[in-house]
Structure 1
Amino acid sequence: MKKITFAFLLFGLSCMSLSAQNKIDKLNMTYGEELPDDNQKIVKIIGESNDKIYALAIAGKEDYFLKIFESKTMKIISSNPIVIPKLEDKEVDFEEIYLLNENLYAIGSVYNRKEKMFNLVGVPVSDKGVLGEKSILLFNSVVEKKSEKGMFYFKLSPDEKNLLVMHTSLFSKEDAVQYEVKLLDNKLNVLFANAEKVKFDDSKKDYEFTISDFELNFQNDVFLVINESYRDSKKKEQIEKFQIHTFKQANAYKKEVVDINIKGKEIINCKMISTLKNTLKLVGFYSSVRENGKANKELKGVYNATIDFASSVTPKVIFNEFDYATKVKLLGERRAKNGKDVKPLYNITTLIERNDGGLIVLSELQLVYYGKSAGFGPLQFTPVTYIKNEIIVTSLNPDGSLDWGNVLPKEQVASITTMSLSLGAIGGNGSFTVGASLNIPLVDLGKGPEYLGAIPMYRDGKLNVIFNDNIKNKGITDIEKIKALGNYNNSVPSLFIFDDKGAITRKDPEEVVKNELVLRPGVYYRKNESEFILYSSRKKQDKLGRLILEQ
């Protein structure tokens, strides 16, 4: 069977215990006191509520802890292990932890081999960090077998009061994909649920079936987009079918379907964003198609389709080729002149709604290299290299047409060794992902990959992006002249500002402070458009802080 994929930070600081660590242009980074050296590395800042900051930390292999801090001083209050109660005498694997309208829940999963059922449970956590003794069953999804049990995916509502959860799995004997979505409130009550199997026909040429993304808007409406593509060898055409499954609260969550058919282009990926104007925007990369209908697989540009729920008109898909200047930065002048397309190494990481209803799309070059595993018996050690390089910035007008494009130059790499139990080969369809951006496992965070990437901020019509850079790149915006990050412990924060025409201004620290804290862009919490909670480090010295983007 063909490969089936699911491609789905002005706060006034007056406390004397906080001191300004750094300022770049209008960005202020202010930190609290040093955190205890307890070998627990923060891998997620969960949120802030009732003058407390909640964070998830990991120690050792897979020992997770809930850490609670005072909001003003950022001093630690408590640190408690996360041990989810057994379900039917079976150990529960920790999945995630969420703060829903001041209510904290740890979430875990467990597979029941006898019943061929993949279960998801939630456990309430007190404001002192103590887990409850009883769990709440959220999903009991029947699957075909363990190797195709699928995965659970999570998305917070814009107001962070509700949680949308989706489970997807493959039924290879039925040539079907099953998806199940549930919308949970802040008590983990089910507000909406839907499950169905979607049939596919992989006997067609170059067939691909993709559940690309799912979304939850400010009205608690739920959206899911399916992309089916194949090559009609007789007509010599590439056929792309989009189907958006819509479940609106105002319509009692009755399923509605929007179909979008495309010919002559291949859709590489698709991400969704719900806007404040009550529209749903689909955006992604596309490739050109040869005369025989076979797709070229390389990136030709960015497409956009807007679904206006106040209109019954079928959405028009706008295709925007990369402009010459952008291609020169990505490919070099010679290849750009020869009309070459961009390699399919870029994943959409951030979608930002512009003030005028347009979009800003950030797409980062992301790669993962797995080295040869070594070990004894089932215990295996695998070297893993994470690469996060330049970011393509594409700004689209409200109608989906290209406004401007540019490239943020950076070159970052981090290598770690991860330990895992080798349980034998798993079928090629046994692992699924939702969305196109690189998902770094929690067990790998705290070791280096979280220093990679960037933190985007949008305010007053300007895009600001901060990331860790090589000190030798100070003042350089030419992608051909930048040097790789190298040792992230010696990096400095660099700020790139894009104006409303896409022109870049680079801002670096006026002077490099010795032993300065290093940002961890992979671990932050966005409170609003101008305030972020940070986690930064210098070897064993860790601190929480706030990043403020001033007007």
Structure 2
Amino acid sequence: MKKFVTAAALLFMGIAPLMAQNKIDKINVSYGQELPDDKQKLVDITGEANGKIYGLAIKGKDTYMLKIFDSSTMGQLSSHEILIPDLNDREVEFENLYLLNGKLYVVGSVYNKKDKIFNLVATPLSEEGKLSKDGVVLFKSEVEKKSERGGFYFRKTQDENGLLVMHASRFKKEDVIKYDIKLFDDNLQAIFSTTEKVKFDDNHKDYEFYIPDFQAGLNDDVYVVINEGYRDNKKKERVERFEIHAYKGNNNYAKEVINIDVKDQAPINCKIVPSGDILHLMGFYSSVRESGRSNKELKGVYAATVNMKDNKVTSTKFNDLDHPTRVKLIGERRAKKGKDVPPLYNIIHIIGREDGGMIMVSEYQLVVIGQSAGIGPLAFTPVTYVKNEIIVTSLAPDGSHEWSNVLPKAQTASITTMSLGLSFSGTGNGFAVGGTIMIPLLQMGKGPEYLGALPIYKNGQLSILINDNVKNKGITDIEEIKSMGNYNNAVPSLFIFSKDGKIVRKDPEEVIKNELVIRPGVNYAKTNNEYIIYSSRKKSDKLGRMILED
């Protein structure tokens, strides 16, 4: 399965009728018709098909709406509430809305306390918001107990017509991590399914177990990365188990284990990038002390390359962050003392270059949970999302470091939510899945979606668009950046990276009062250089297309 979009196709997507309202350098943003003031906040752009754009909105505290827009005018065609019935008298928790090959599906989860089964169900959805009676149970995952029920994690296939889903949970009594993974086609028929139990021993010192990433490759192949690490107290060394579980369609999905040799380093996170018969793994790593204890701080960037024809690891490189980058992140004095960088940078985007090299875009991400006000599980809790500077790292085809630079930004958004609704990727106690902070749907539409960035890549050049404080116009020195606290007054800023990593900043020539503000957290990437975006200003909301011109 592969996605092809030709330049000619872009000309017929209805761009011409839209009125261009923003332009920074070669970034052109064209907006459609103003959307109705219906107090429904768009929280996800699900996809585009059949001349329509489909989106998910929230009204009030927990009412989900299906919104449909015209691809040409981007005006709203309809909005319908999605009513999810109970399953066996149990309330179904909404997970997401998916568009697979032009077909809409609502996905929800429900826990059966008596049988200790965590179910995932999917139901076809009509454009009128009506759920079909032909629902499909995708998962019946056995768990140890409710508090250890784990979670469901989703990836679309590369052509966006299939869905890869994983459930992961811990069985403490058995000392195993169990993951169930299934690949579904556009009719939600399972192409592949497996259940794996991975033994662990958390009696070791500094024990950690991660499933940092899983992805679908070409030919419906499936890849899962496992990372286990601990300190061997007797040998005074760090033991790392860093391996790929590969399930290939041409091998009847038999499990194949590929070991990535890691010594005296400890991976912090990982992203899988399938590229034909080559599999790339990259992420941050920390150094290890002579005692075998991991320093747990960011030391540099690693890259591994695997030839999936014979499962041979052809290259493994560990690249320490260079001094100029470290100075920008932690300051001159700390950098001179050899201090490492806090491990709070999550990979948000990987770009494969034409020459086989890679560009990794990583963002400082943090969630600060305040003290709850109220009694019991329904207490209200203040939550602050922080998304600050971005590290951009360019790697050669063999994984060696070419250059790094830092895009300066400081962004925060605070909301108040019920403690019951706090839900973040992964779990504690040395077991986690994924890395990037996922904002729960019910907390979207309230501010956090203004944070983050939109990376755009065309003709070998990377551009990154962010929302910024108007007082930061022209500033590229991270020490001088002012925080974007009031996202309603933010302005777009564009950072352009040259092929050797130098930054040029572009800002609007003039700040227009009541200009629409882009919400980077709500977008749909059609190609590397075209996005469908959502912008707003007070009660005025619009969809738009953001395109990087030649």
Q: C-alpha displacement at 1:17, in angstroms?
A: 5.7
Q: Residue type matched to 1:548 in 2?
A: I
Partners in 1 of 2:90 and 2:485 — Cα distance?
Answer: 44
SS at structure 2 position matched to 1:510: coil
2:529 matches 1:512: no
**Residues 1:320 and 1:215: Cα distance change in structure 2 (over 3 Å):** same
Match of 1:5 in 2: none
* Alpha-carbon shift at residue 148 of structure 1 (Å): 0.6
Equivalents in 2 of 1:271, 1:234: separation in Å? Answer: 32
Name 1:298's counterpart in structure 2.
297
Distance 2:75 2:488 in 1: 24
Please tell me the residue identity of whatever aligns with 1:540. K
Q: Which amino acid aligns with 2:511?
A: V
CA deviation after TM superposition for structure 1 residue 513, in Å: 1.1
> What is the identity, as a one-letter code, of the residue corresponding to 1:68?
I
Shift of 1:290: 1.4
Mean Cα deviation higher: 207-216 or 304-313:
304-313
How far residue 432 of structure 1 moved from its aligned partner, in angstroms, is 6.7
Deviation at 1:391, TM superposition (A): 0.4
Change (3 A) 1:320 1:285: same
Q: Does 1:460 align with 2:462?
A: no
Once the 2 structures are TM-superposed, how far is the Cα of residue 314 of structure 1 from its aligned partner?
3.4
What is the CA–CA distance in structure 2 between the aligned matches of 1:218 and 1:197, rounded to whole Å? 26
CA distance in 1 between counterparts of 2:430 and 2:69 reads 36
Deviation at 1:115, TM superposition (A): 0.9
Q: Distance in 1 between matches of 2:159 and 2:363?
A: 27
- The CA distance in 2 between the partners of 1:222 and 1:257, in whole Å, is 12
Which residue of structure 2 aligns with residue 365 of structure 1?
364
CA contact (8 A) 1:85 1:134 kept: no
Contact 1:159 1:218 in 2 (8 A): no
**Identity level (%):** 60
User: Is 449-458 or 479-488 further displaced after alignment?
Assistant: 479-488
SS of 1:480's equivalent in the other structure is: helix
Contact 1:148-1:431 at 8 Å conserved across structures? no
Matched residue type, 1:144 = E
Task: Give the Cα–Cα distance (whole angstroms) in 2 for the partners of residues 484 and 144 of structure 1.
Answer: 44
Kept in 2: contact 1:220–1:248 (CA 8 A): yes
Hey, what does 2:319 align to over in structure 1? 320
Tell me, yes or no, if structure 1 residue 68 matches structure 2 residue 68: yes
**Matched residue, 1:440:** 439
Partner of 2:277: 278
What residue number does 1:399 align with? 398
Structure 2 gaps of 5+ residues are none
Distance in 2 between residues matched to 1:129 and 1:514, nearest whole Å: 37
Q: TM-score, normalised on structure 1? A: 0.95
Post-superposition Cα deviations, 1:516-543, rounded to whole Å, max 9, x if no partner, equal 0001000000011221100000011111
Distance 1:511 1:421 in 2: 44
Write the deviation string for residues 383-409 of structure 1: whole angstroms up to 9, x where unpaired: 111110000111111100001100000
Q: 2:229: which partner in 1? A: 229
1:443 partner SS: helix
1:176 matched to which residue of 2?
176
Relative to 1, partners in 2 of residues 1:323 and 1:16: Cα closer, same or farther, differing over 3 Å? closer
Change (3 A) 1:351 1:484: same
- 1:73-152 to 2 correspondences below 5 Å: 73-152=73-152
CA distance in 2, matches of 1:54, 1:327: 42
Could you say which residue in structure 1 is the equivalent of 2:409? 410
Letter in 2 for 1:280: L
**Kindly tell me: are residues 312 and 124 of structure 1, through their superposed partners in 2, closer, same or farther at Cα, counting changes over 3 Å?**
closer
What's the secondary structure of 2:227's corresponding residue? strand
For normalisation by structure 2, the TM-score amounts to 0.95
Q: Distance in 1 between matches of 2:432 and 2:442?
A: 17
Q: Provide the residue aligned with 1:4 in structure 2.
A: none
Any conservation in 2 of the 1:229–1:240 contact (CA below 8 Å)?
yes
Query: Match of 2:240, SS?
Result: strand
Name the count of aligned residue pairs. 539
1:245 pairs with 2:245: yes
Label 1:407 to 1:127 Cα distance change in 2 as closer, same or farther (>3 A).
Answer: same
SS of 1:43's partner is strand
> SS of 2:30's equivalent?
strand
**Secondary structure of residue in 2 paired with 1:263:** coil
**Cα deviation, residue 419, structure 1:** 2.2
Which whole-Å CA distance do the structure 2 matches of 1:15 and 1:293 have between them? 58
Deviations 1:28-70 (A, max 9, x none): 1111111111111000000000000000001111111110011
**What corresponds to 2:189 in structure 1?**
189
Aligned-residue offset at 1:340: 1.4
Query: CA separation in 2, counterparts of 1:407 and 1:136?
Result: 46
| Structure possessing the higher relative contact order (Cα contacts under 8 Å, 6 or more residues apart) | 1
Structure 1 residue 20, shift from structure 2 partner: 1.1
Q: Distance in 1 between matches of 2:91 and 2:456?
A: 40
- Amino acid aligned to 2:364: L
Are 2:41 and 1:41 aligned? yes
* Structure 2 match to 1:541: 540
CA distance in 2, matches of 1:27, 1:431: 43
Q: Contact 1:85 / 1:133 at 8 angstroms: preserved in 2? A: no
Tell me, yes or no, if the aligned pair for 2:380 and 2:417 is still in contact at 8 Å.
Answer: yes
- Conserved 8 A contact 2:83-2:130: no
Aligned in 2, Cα 1:217/1:14: closer, same or farther, shift over 3 Å? closer
Q: Is the 8 A contact 2:283 2:301 kept in 1?
A: yes
8 Å Cα contact 2:19/2:31 also seen in 1: yes
> Relative to 1, partners in 2 of residues 1:356 and 1:478: Cα closer, same or farther, differing over 3 Å?
same
The whole-number CA distance in structure 2 between the counterparts of 1:285 and 1:14 is: 41
**Is this contact kept in 1: 2:15–2:30, CA < 8 A?**
no
Q: Does the aligned pair in 2 maintain the 1:93–1:110 contact within 8 Å? A: yes
Structure 1 CA distance for aligned equivalents of residues 238 and 278 of structure 2: 28
Cα deviations by residue, 1:340-384 (Å, 9 ceiling, x for unpaired): 111112111111111111111111111111111112454211111
C-alpha distance in 1, partners of 2:160/2:71? 18
In the alignment, structure 1 segments of 5+ residues that lack a partner are: 1-8
The residue type equivalent to 1:237 in the other structure is: E
- Whole-angstrom distance in 2 between the partners of 1:285 and 1:422: 30
CA 1:45–1:312 in structure 2 vs 1: closer, same or farther (change >3 Å)?
Answer: closer
1:310-352, Cα deviation, whole Å (9 max, x unpaired): 3443344210000111011111112112221111121111111
Task: Provide Cα deviations, 1:279-324, integer angstroms capped at 9, x if missing partner.
Answer: 1111111111112121111111001111111344334421000011
1-side partners of 2:36 and 2:432: how far apart? 36
Q: Per the alignment, do residues 281 and 29 of structure 1 end up closer, same or farther by CA in structure 2, a change over 3 Å counting?
A: same
Distance in 1 (alpha carbons) for counterparts of 2:105 and 2:461: 36
Amino acid in the other structure paired with 1:20? A
CA, structure 1 residues 420+342, in 2 after alignment: closer, same or farther (shift >3 Å)?
A: closer
Deviation sequence 1:182-238 (CA, Å, 0-9, x none): 000000001000002111111222111111110101221000011111111222111
Write the distance in 1 (CA, Å) between the matches of 2:187 and 2:14: 35
**Which amino acid counterpart does residue 417 of structure 1 have in structure 2?**
T
Partners in 2 of 1:65 and 1:89 — Cα distance?
23
Residues 227-285 of structure 1 show CA distances to partners (whole Å, capped at 9, x for unaligned) of: 1111112221111111211000111111111112322112212221112x421111111
Q: Which residue of 2 aligns with 1:524?
A: 523
Per the alignment, residue 483 of structure 1 pairs with: 482
C-alpha distance in 2, partners of 1:162/1:523? 21
CA contact 2:207–2:430 (8 Å) conserved in 1:
no
Partners of 1:338 and 1:25 in 2: CA distance: 40
